[in-house]
Each structure stands twice: as C-alpha cells, then as structure tokens.
Chain A
Amino acid sequence: MSQVTANMPESASSAPSEQATAELNRTWASPAGFFGWFTHVNHRKIGFRFIMTSLVFFVLAGVLALLMRLQLITPENSLMGPELFNQLFTMHGTTMMFFFAVPIMEGLGIYLVPLMIGTRDMCFPRLNAFGYYVYLIAGIVLYLSLFLGMAPAAGWFAYVPLANDMFSPGKGMDIWTTMITFIELSALTAAVELIVTIFKQRAPGMSLDRMPLFVWAILVMSFMIVFAMPTVMVGSILLMLDRTLMTQFFVVASGGEPLLWQHLFWFFGHPEVYIIFVPALGVLSAIITTFTHKRLFGYTAMVLSLVAIGFVSFGLWVHHMFTTGLPHLGLSFFTGASAMIAIPSGVQIFCWIASLWGARIRFATPMLFVLGFFAVFVIGGLTGVMVASIPFDMQVHDTYFVVAHFHYVLIGGAVLPLFGGIYYWYPKATGRLMSERLGRWSFALIFIGLNATFFPMHQLGLEGMPRRVYTYLETMGWGNLNLFISLSAFVLALGFGLTFLNMWMSRSRGTPAGPNPWDADSLEWATDSPPANYNFRHIPVVRSGTPLWDDAIANERQFVSGLRNDRREVLVTTLVDAEPQAVVILPQPTIWPVLLAVAVSIGFIGTIFSPWGFWLGFFLSFWMIVGWLWPRRPWQEN
C-alpha cells in the first residue's frame, strides 16, 4: 500500500484507467431487478431506504395528528369516539418516536458516515440490511393493526396497569410490545455498526480530532442507543410475558410494581429524546460550517458538549415521574440534572453564534432552517428548564403545556435541522439541487405553522387542559384556542408537504449539482453526486479538519492506492490516529438478511397468537443464521 500525491486535477500518471474503474464499479454494484432489490447490502442503498421509509411514517403520523386536531376543533365533537382517538394518539407518539425520529437519524448516519469518513461501505453490511427489514416489517405490522381496528390504545408510554391484559384486552398491546422490542433490535444493529465503522474505517489521517462534528454526533447517538434501548426491550418483554404467560411483574394484586415500568420506560425514554436531538446538532454543525465557510469555533468544546449531553441525558429520567409520589429529596437530584443539561446545550448554541458572527452567509434554504432552529429550540429549551422545577411540573405535567414544550424541542431541535439537512444533502444523493423558491415557502409555512400550532398550547395547559383527551366540555372555555390550533396545524402540514413536493419535483427538474454545490469542507463532497457504487475512486488521505478547503488551498490531494478492484476491500485504520492498519474484505449482496428478518418476524408475531410461533420462529431463524454464516472464501467469489 502506498500514498499517492496528486495535483488537482489529477495528473495523468496517477489517473486510473477506465477499465480499472469499470471493474471497481462492477465489484461494488448492487444487483438489479425486483429480487435483486432484496439482496442489497450497500450502505447508501440501506441508508436511503431508512430515510425514505421513515419519511413515509412521518407523513402517516402527521395525518393521524391532523385527524386528532379535527376531533378537537370544537368542544364535544362527535367526529370520532374515544376508542379511535386513543388509538390515534398512541400510534402518533409511537410512530414519531420509534418509526420516524430514530430511524431517520440512523438512516442519515448510515448514508453519510462512510462518505464523510472516506470509506466504501460499513463494516457489517449484511447486519445493516437485516436491521432495515426488521424495521420495515415492524412498521407494516403496526399499521396493519391500525387499519384492522386493533391498534394499541394505551399511549406510546404504555403505562401499566392500564397496559395489562386486564385493562387493555385484545391484541393491540401485544402487537405494541412485540413491535417495540423489534424496532429496538433494528436500532441496536445500526448503532453497533455505526460505532465500529466510525472507529475503524476512517480514511488515513482522519484522527478523532479531525472527524466532522456530524460523525461525532452519530457516534454519541450510537453509544446512547446501545445503553438506552435495552431497558425498553426488557420492559416491553416483561409486559409481553405478563400479558401472554401470566407472569406478574406489573400486576399490583400479586405484588407487581407499576412504577417499575415507568423507571424502565423513562430510563430509555429520556435518552431517546437526546438520541433524536444529538444527530440534529451534528446536522446543524455541518450546515453552519459550510455556510460560514470556516471551521466552527470551539470544536473541542462542541465535542465535549455532545459527550456531556450523552452522559447527563441518562440522569434525567425521573423528571417524567415528579407526580408519582416519590420523595422530594430524591426528585430534587433530577431537577439539578435536568437544569445541568442546559449548560452543554448553551455552549453549543453560543459556539454556533460565535461562528456565525460577522460571517458573510448565503441564506439558502438549509441556512433558513438553521436560523429557525435557534428561535424555536431556545423557546423549547426554556420551557424545558421550567418543567424541570418540581412544583411547576406538578401543575403542567401531563397538560398541553408539556405537549407544547416537547413539540418545540423535537420539531425545533430535530425536525427543522433534519429538513435543513434534507435540502443540504439532497444534491449529494440525487445529483440535483432542490428548488430554492419552494424551499423558502416551505420554511416560512413550517415556521409560522409550528409556532401558531404549538405556542397557544402553553396557555391551554396552564388553563387546565390535560393531554390525551378525546374531547372537552364546552364550559371549559378551551374552544377558541383549540380552533386556532387545529387550523394552524394544517398550515404546518402544508409547509411539510411543500418540501415533499420539492423532493419529488427536483429529482428530474432540479439544477444539476456537481460534486460540491455548497463549497463544503467534508469528504462526502469530494466524490460524484450521486456517488458511484464504490463511493471513492481512491481512498483520500486527510490532513486537516476541513480537508476539501485545505486541499484546494494546497492545490493537491493525497490518496491511498493499493486496494484491489476485483473484490470489496476496505481500509481499516487505528482508532485514535487513523493510521492504516489492515484491509478487510466485505461480503457480497446476499438474500440471507431479509430471510432472517422474515424468520424472526414469524417468531415475534406468531408468539402474539400462539406459543408455537416462538418455536417456529426459533428454528426458522436458526436455519437462516446457518445460511448467513455458511463458510465461504470471499476472495474466490466473482
């Protein structure tokens, strides 16, 4: 293996022959055709599917929200009964948290991280594909249950004893517990994969302190997933055992403990919010770096803030339980921790402001979403500090004030950056820019719509309107505000709709983007848009934190050569300094991940209806794993 320095443009001697490039492209190609589709393992294919699938769930959950707003538009509305409404808000929360927010962040990571760190694929491509099919099947089954009228109706938090079989008979909650276990399985596979890829496959020279902040954010998110998701899996499995095998973990009459569920759920549930928020911070950093055309101020402080958020977010879960009768002294620690997490968030915000200060910024659509983030997220953060106060939380807990708070945090803190990121990276994935005109309209409608929808909810909560109510009496006087909110919700929906329209139309009509339309600094912009099958013709060598800008100044690029073209080789580097260490051969496209996902699904879903489902799933999965692991010599393939 050797390092090659090439002038820009590449000099003739180091330019690869067309034949070699074609061979490399064939080696990394994904099979065509309908059946070929199920064998894809390439990270860009899988990441793109994660993103598109979670956007579909975003739309579905948004439609559910609009239906709920239609029901609440007037007092004592008879549009729908409580059974349906309770299913809708359960599905809205479950979908947004489990099937949209986390998967889309994972999808962004899976799509972008290998490009950003300069490698050709992720370390466990088949596991990647398996995680996607598990996610897809879980989502389809959950929505089938809604259309069959047997959806869960105990809330996305599924508090026991309400979620026990005594108070929630029927299959809805069984489907919920099973699918939650299932989707977390998918999240864990993605997290493990992202961690190993980030640690071991960075381009030579990309030491940890040269890693883009987005990659840092994905790394922190992945570690949080590894520690948070198991507790909700434990919780949902215990609940499933209670419901199907008559265990008594949560049955009060037998000494079961309802608060045990709340601890298990929120020990996952609070980090979950930050699992969604942390990658969005990475998106913001990427966009701000590019549009200010300078490395962000306070790189080290930003990284430490991300890591601090990751740690502290595991010490906040009891602030969801301030009204459950736990002793005040115990609760007060969680007030302290909840306030403490405002500090790393504040550091990040002011590092960005310091970077934006006095910079000549092009106010393209991604940047508008970033500015929108500042206004909306600061409001959400301030109300977040308010609800960390125990006495105040006793008033507003489980009211519309909290609904307002977390929609400000999640839409402001995650969805706005995410949509900024969609406008920002769309040209990389498709080769075309999205329409600026539609983008501005979309941003304006989203910004107005979300403030008009959620700001008045603060008032409603203080005026005594609890959450999760399918109706309210006319004498309560909440009618006018609810009418205003319901109408505003449609403005918000229209704003999101315009971005989807923009995505659809720009596929064929957008301005061709070229490799680096924003003049950005990180490696994903060093290759074609969309990238060829092999991502990078040559693995780049990184010499700074903003490699593309510094290469342009130095007017030369360095590459690694010596990877073979006829098999899927990637370079493995050391953890801290990213010095070349080894070459690993990755597996070919294969059908086994989808077969294993189907087998595991048969086990999980079958268990809801009969204990035999478990045995069937177990043996089927066993054979699929045998097929997956069947020894072969990768260097002899092709």
Chain B
Amino acid sequence: MTFRCRNVLVLAAALVAESSIASPPNQTALVPASDQAAGIASLWMAMLVGGCLIFVAVMLILALGLWRARRQEHRLSHLASRNLVIAAGVAVPLAVLIALVAGSLFLGNNISSRPPDGALHIEVIGWRWWWEIRYRDSQGELIATTANEIHVPVDRPVRLSLTSEDVIHSFWVPNLHGKTDLVPGQTNSSWFTARRAGTFHGQCAEFCGTQHALMGFRVIAQSAAEFETWLAQQAQPARRADSPMLRRGREAFVSAGCASCHVIRGVTPPALANAVKTDSKNPLSADVRSLSKARTAARDKPVPAPDLTHFGSRLTLAAGTRPNTAGHIGGWISDPQGIKPGVLMPPTMLEPGELTALIGYLQSLR
C-alpha cells in the first residue's frame, strides 16, 4: 500500500533527522544517571519496542485486509471477523496491558516508596522564577541556603522536600528522575540516588507564568568528599571584603538597593522570605477586606530573591540562563528585563566604576 510506505518513509525521515542531532546529554531522560531514571528509561525502551511491534502489526493486518480485494471481493466470514476482533481487539491488548500495568506499578511503587535511612535531605522552594535550595542536617537544622544549584553526593540517596511559596512549579532533572510538582500549601517529596558524577540540567516543568521558560537550575553530582567540602564552605558566612575595591562593591550592593531583596549572610539582615512566611501564617484571622488589602500589598512589595552568600561559586546566574561571568553579571544587573522579560528583578543603574566594583565583589563570594 502506498499509504503505508509513505508513513514508513515519514517515520524514517524523522528518525534520520533526529539521529543527526548531537544534543548535550545533560537534560535528557534517555541517558539516565540514577537508579530511578534508569528504571524509567528501561520501561520506556520496553514500551517503545512493544509499541513499534503493535503499530507494525496493526498496519500489516489492515494492509493485508485491503490487499485481499485487489482482484475480487474476498470478505471475512462472520466467524472469522468475530475471531479477529476477539483476538486482536480484546485478547492481545488485554494481555499486553496487564503486563504493562503490572510492570509499571511495580516500578512506580519502588520509585515512590520511602527513601532509605541516611538519605541526604534537601528542601527545594519554588519562586517565580527561581529555585531556593536549603540543606538540613539529620536533626533538621538548617546548614546552608543557596539558589538554582544543587550539589549531591554520588551513590547516596537524596531526599527532596518540595514546596512553593507562590504558584505551582515542577521540579525536573530528566537524567536523575521524573518530575514532582511544587504545590503551595503542601510539601511533596521525591528521592533519587545518583550513580555517576556530572552536571545535570533541570527546568521547571509546570507552567508558572511569564518566565516559566527560563526557570532552570543545575544539579552537580560529585564524590562524597567533594560534596562535603562544598557543603562546609556553603555553610560559612560570606567572605569578608578585604580590599578597598571589594568594600566599594559591598557598599554598592547595599546602597543600590540589592540588599532589600537579596541576602548575603553576614552582610545583610535575615531573609525577607522569613518575613513573608510569618505573614501568611495566620491569615484566617483577618477579615476579607483586610485580606484583600494584604494581597494587594503583597503584590507590590519586594519579593524574596536568591541568597547570594556564595554567589561566586555558582556556575550560572538568572536561574540557569547565563554563565556566571563578569560580563553576564553586569548585563543582568543593568538590564534583567532584556534577558528575561517580565522577571521580578528591577534594572539597577550604577556608575561604571561602581558596577565593576559590585561585579568584583559578587565574584569574590566563593
């Protein structure tokens, strides 16, 4: 049948088109780097093979049926029709589906079970349009806060607590695991065990407004020793400004208004995020009218922004959008709307000297 050939050609053309593309394998479900992603990738391969077989079989049956009539009519008897429908329309699909559902539920149960003891606990809080990351020790004490970059040790289970303070986001690192939503008012959990070192890309997967597209982050899987060193360093307060240039940069950070949203531990007062959180603790006591005022006010006041205490140690800025280099930092400070239109960070006009000092200071925060 010309019809089927055309279809096969299209499929082949699409496959050729795809295979010729060398994509960096750091945001793909097809190159798993954890137990969980590997399980899902195997399930996908099984379903892909099975799906192709079923598709070809159905097309062949259809083609054969049409081919039978090329010279003269050659209809199926009632009995043969019935057998075809029962076998191909009911029995085979039923068997395939039972196997698939069983396998899928088995895998799903493994993935969604509780993580083993001794898992590393990381909190992820979704904001428009960046990720707040908090490390806690086994007693639940806060060790370090960072943003848009998660470091994890290889071969140790990592437990994620996921929530949001504004709209629904979804946490997704395809190489490490499927996604889990960050829903305001509830804390979801997910866990994975990375099996090889590397830098993996993640991205928000639930539409969350204007800058949903550029709400990315990095997950860096590294050896346990490297990870401990990194975490210990992140737990420190910010590096002191020990030269006149750095001090000038630090002053610019405060005087230009950056400090009204961003925190640098040891330099600026505690996070605004905490203030907002206590606000929303007991809203039920307020009547509707004051609630509406509070909501209008909340819309206008500055929102919490990434903790910059160790900004200089990060790979990217603007939630995975630009590499963390002096030029990009300068561009982001002076014109964030040009890079991510609609982002909540306002542009900041600084004298060239001040800007250079500020960039130098931010880069020094390692």
Contacts and interface: CB of A to CB of B under 8 A. Distances in A.
Interface in A342-358: 342-343, 346-351, 353-358
A504 to B, nearest CB: 27
Contacts of A165: 295
A266 interface: no
A434 to B, nearest CB: 20
* Residue with the highest number of chain A CB atoms closer than 10 Å, among B6, B69, B93, B186: B93
A37 B14 CA distance: 50
Contacts of B89: 343, 346-351
Interface in A463-483: 463-464, 466-473, 475-478, 480-481
A309 B245 CA distance: 71
B252 to A, nearest CB: 29
Given A328-B112, A382-B55, A477-B23, 8 more contacts: A155-B207, A258-B185, A298-B82, A354-B81, A358-B65, A371-B3, A464-B172, A464-B201
12 contacts: A86-B207, A254-B283, A297-B78, A342-B97, A353-B62, A354-B84, A357-B76, A389-B47, A395-B44, A472-B213, A473-B216, A476-B201
Contacts of A473: 214, 216, 321
Contacts of A466: 172, 203-205, 212-213
Nearest to A169: B299
A246 B81 contact: no
A480 B22 CA distance: 10
A451 B11 contact: yes
Interface in A447-497: 447-448, 451-452, 455-456, 459, 462-464, 466-473, 475-478, 480-481, 484
A452 B6 CA distance: 12
B58 A349 contact: yes
A32 interface: no
B75 A357 contact: yes
Contact of B178 (A154, A323, A448): A323
Nearest to A451: B10
Give the top 4 A-B pairs by smallest Cβ distance, nearest first.
Answer: A394-B178, A477-B23, A358-B74, A325-B188
Contacts of A161: 166-168, 184
B54 A382 contact: yes
A339 B27 CA distance: 29
Contact of A451 (B3, B7, B40): B7
Contacts of A257: 185
* Residue with the highest number of chain B CB atoms closer than 10 Å, among A251, A359, A372, A466: A466
Contacts, number: 316
* Residue with the highest number of chain A CB atoms closer than 10 Å, among B14, B28, B201: B14
Contact of B179 (A294, A379, A386, A398): A398
Contacts of B196: none
Contacts of B104: 335, 388-392
Given A83-B342, A358-B68, A451 B179 contact: no
Interface in A297-329: 297-298, 301, 323-325, 328
B85 A350 contact: yes
Given A347-B89, A353-B62, A452-B14, A470 B213 contact: yes
Interface in B149-198: 162, 166-168, 170, 172, 174, 177-181, 183-186, 188-189
A480 B89 CA distance: 39
Contact of B75 (A301, A358, A371): A358
Contact of A391 (B39, B59, B185, B216): B39
B278 interface: no
Given A255-B284, A358-B73, A481-B21, A328 B109 contact: yes
Interface residues of A, number: 105
Nearest to B54: A382
Interface in A74-100: 81-83, 86
A226 interface: no
A387 to B, nearest CB: 10
A574 interface: no
A361 interface: yes
Contact of B27 (A83, A467, A476): A476
B105 A464 contact: no
B123 interface: no
A98 B61 CA distance: 36
B232 interface: no
Contacts of A399: 205
Contact of B207 (A81, A455, A468): A468
Contacts of B162: 325
B213 A391 contact: no
B275 interface: no
Interface in B95-140: 97, 100-101, 104-105, 107-109, 111-112, 128
Nearest to B22: A477
A359 B69 contact: yes
A397 interface: yes
A323 B3 contact: no
B65 A325 contact: no
B93 A358 contact: no
B349 interface: no
A255 to B, nearest CB: 7
A150 B74 CA distance: 60
B74 to A, nearest CB: 3
Interface string B25-44: 00111100000010110011
A8 to B, nearest CB: 26
B171 to A, nearest CB: 9
Nearest to A329: B109
B189 to A, nearest CB: 8
B183 to A, nearest CB: 6
Contact of B280 (A155, A253, A394): A253
